[in-house]
Amino acid sequence: MSAVAKDLTHSREAVELRPNLYWIGAMDPHLRSFDIILKTANGTTYNSYLVRGSEGVAVIDTVKESFQQEFFSRLEGVADYAEIRYIVLNHLEPDHSGALPELMRRAPQAQLYISVRATSMLKALLKPKQGAFDYTPVRDGDQLSLGDRTLRFLHTPFLHWPDTQCTYLVEEKALFSGDVFGCHYCDNRLFNDKVGDFRFSFDYYYAHIMRPFKKYVLAALKQIEPLPLTLVAPAHGPILRDRPRRYVARYRELSSPGFMAEMTEQERSLIIFYMSAYGSTARMAQAIYGGADEVDGVRVSLYDLEGGEVGPFVDLIEQADAIAFGSPTINGDAVKPIWDLLSSLAVINLSDKVGAAFGSYGWSGEAIRMIEDRLRGLKMRVPEGGMRVKLIPTEEELAECREFGRRIAGALVGEGESKGKVIEFEDL
């Protein structure tokens, strides 16, 4: 074992974090995309930890199956399989549970500890390989004594799967946080005060993995922030031993509502995005904007997608209460900038936001229904049937657009019943 790892990609030594506390994970420097959706410019690590107590050894998380030989080599350097009494999985995704079947085979006496929510996943995930795994489901606050050391479990679900939990080593003030506070950043130097600049990776990982679950992040932070912390040991990326609380604070910052144009808590926000080929959808957008703006208590914003970028718009949408999307129908479809924006919204939680669609069309007008379908797929409410206008809107049709905007805005402040046709899921 070594206190400072020199080349963990090639060595198979465990790394001592504290006396009788080791990193026994694996390095995956050549990975370039993770779970398809995440870019990994310099790979990732699968972090696993071994804690030795006076009455037994615990292994916390394993590694991806294809890296298990590396994991077992490190483990064998610091413990015998017969000493392992406890295996804790903070999260059952295969990048952390991949080596579990083989570990259980080598250490059959060990008891597996997982969160209550993980129990239904265990068999589904490991069915091709498992024998009859015995396991103990644990709840928030449950403790596991290793003799002179204690593991305490924190219930932190949906970060980013339902099963996720964190494990706190009380005597060392060390938090094994699973994917939380992790990132895909592979660096032999392993510790946050030694590795290269990984700030981008930390924020990028948060944005793609944790951001849709902000309310659960905030709930977890309520549990984590009061803990004395000298070490945060995530399941991916650098081990946070230098001022670990900075990373907890960064999660707080990233999960808190941002600055919102001086809006009050009582105000509601409607954002209208549009693209227009010949100006007709733009005129509809202006009319919807005008109608919505008549409603007190609703702040309305209007954006032409032609002049914007997806990233900042996703930020705006995350904080809005209602979003309307306007597109002409061209070749039976909505236009590409609309789809670019709509396909980028999976990283935020849209449930219960109000969505609406509108646009002008030449002869069929499919774009409106297609946008509405996507909004429902994103779990948004679509209380108003989409507003469609054939070719150039008349004054009467623009008046309808104003009323359409007024109704959407009115719904945000509890004004009356919607007068438009309500499209329900079953109608599709």
Closest separation between CB of residue 93 and ligand FEO, Å? 4
Closest separation between CB of residue 95 and ligand FEO, Å? 5
Where along the sequence are the contacts to ligand FEO (CB under 6 A)? 91, 93, 95-96, 160, 179, 235-236
Contacts of 2 (CB under 8 A, 6+ apart): 11, 13, 15, 16
Residue 22 or 181: the one with the smaller Cβ distance to ligand FEO is 181
Closest separation between CB of residue 169 and ligand FEO, Å? 20
Closest separation between CB of residue 26 and ligand FEO, Å? 12
Length of the chain: 428
Residue 160 or 374: the one with the smaller Cβ distance to ligand FEO is 160
- Contact, 285 vs 358, CB < 8 A? yes
Burial string for 324-348 (b: 16+ CB within 10 Å, else e) reads bbbbbbbeeebbebbbebbeebeeb
Residue 208 or 353: the one with the smaller Cβ distance to ligand FEO is 208
CA 199 to chain centre: 17
CA dist., res. 393 & res. 365, Å (int)? 14
Closest separation between CB of residue 239 and ligand FEO, Å? 15
Residue 119 or 230: the one with the smaller Cβ distance to ligand FEO is 119
Largest CA distance in the chain: 82
Closest separation between CB of residue 21 and ligand FEO, Å? 21
CA contacts within 13 A on the Cβ side of 22: 27
Residue 74 or 236: the one with the smaller Cβ distance to ligand FEO is 236
Residue 96 or 388: the one with the smaller Cβ distance to ligand FEO is 96
> Alpha carbon of 195 to those of 192, 222, 241, 384: distances in Å?
6, 29, 12, 52
CA dist., res. 395 & res. 284, Å (int)? 10
Closest separation between CB of residue 103 and ligand FEO, Å? 17
Closest separation between CB of residue 166 and ligand FEO, Å? 13
Instruction: Give CA angle at 412 (409, 417), nearest 5°.
Output: 85
Closest separation between CB of residue 182 and ligand FEO, Å? 7
Residue 160 or 299: the one with the smaller Cβ distance to ligand FEO is 160
Closest separation between CB of residue 59 and ligand FEO, Å? 16
Residue 236 or 268: the one with the smaller Cβ distance to ligand FEO is 236
CA dist., res. 335 & res. 223, Å (int)? 45
Residue 26 or 323: the one with the smaller Cβ distance to ligand FEO is 26
Q: What tokens appear for 195 in the block? A: 């590795």
Name the residue whose CB lies closest to ligand FEO: 93
Q: What tokens appear for 108 in the block? A: 């059959």
Residue 179 or 318: the one with the smaller Cβ distance to ligand FEO is 179
Residue 93 or 397: the one with the smaller Cβ distance to ligand FEO is 93
- Contact, 332 vs 364, CB < 8 A? yes
DSSP-derived secondary structure for 19-83: TTEEE--EEETT--EETTTEE-TT-EEE--EEEEETTEEEEE----GGGHHHHHHHHHHH--GGG
Closest separation between CB of residue 230 and ligand FEO, Å? 23
Identity of the residue numbered 359: G
Q: What stretch of H or E contains 143?
A: strand 143-145
Residue (of 43, 44, 34, 31) closest to 234 by Cα position? 44
